[in-house]
Amino acid sequence: MTIVITAFERSPDGGRGLARDTRVRWALEEVEQPYDVRLVSFQDMKAPAHLVLHPFGQIPTYEEGDLVLFETGAIVLHIAQHHLGLLPEDTHARARAIAWMFAALNTVEPPILEYSTAKLFEKDRSWSAERLPLVADRVRDRLRPLVAHLGDAEWLDGGFSAGDLLMVSVLLRLKTSGILDEFPNLAAYVRRGEARPAYMRAFAAQLAVNTRVMPGT
């Protein structure tokens, strides 16, 4: 059965790999599973046909035969559980890798998203200058324990896993902020993730969609 995922017809990030379909693409590339992509516009995402796949009208979605999934973490976990390469075989190591998946999405990403929102969409508010440093400090508070845990290790818990895939994807949102550069071992960790051939293929595929010439442009 061919796997089909949805992605932005035109991503808000211009193809810099920050749209969440990149995480699913990366997971599929790591486990060497072919997939098709159905591109959707912002209007398409709110149409009944898409809402059947994703109740909140977002991307990505994942279709494999009769199975339909939404939420990036759930999709990546499904891929990792059904194909070799993203979760360790050892039961305890496998559980720890899944814990890092949850940590990336539930602990580390929320303050990063809050920072992005404050910087991009609230910068013209009268209180922005006072609020932004406070939000940035909340990001740093989340990164310090991660720095301590990672130390000089290459990955979070032994070999590369789905936990690293999601954590690197989350940290990529900080690349242009300067915050990531304050933590050299995390910056190096992100670079290792970006250097993986599977990530490079996923990034190139997402970038290609967003740099092609659209009709009428």
* Model confidence pLDDT, tens digit, residues 101-132: 999 999 999 999 998 887 775 666 766 677 78
Peptide bond into 60 cis (omega under 30): yes
Q: What is the pLDDT of residues 10-60, one digit of tens each?
A: 888 777 788 899 999 999 999 999 999 999 999 999 999 999 999 999 999
User: Which letter, b or e, does each residue of 129-157 get, where b requires 16 or more Cβ atoms within 10 Å of its Cβ?
Assistant: eeebeebbeebeebbeebeeebeeeebbb
Q: Is the pLDDT of residue 213 over 50?
A: no
Task: Report residue 101 as tokens.
Answer: 């998946």
166, 104 contact by CB (below 8 A): yes
Q: What is the pLDDT of residues 163-208, one digit of tens each?
A: 999 999 999 999 989 999 999 999 999 999 999 999 999 999 999 9
> What is residue 26's three-state secondary structure?
helix
Cβ-Cβ contacts under 8 Å for 159 (sequence gap 6 or more): 88
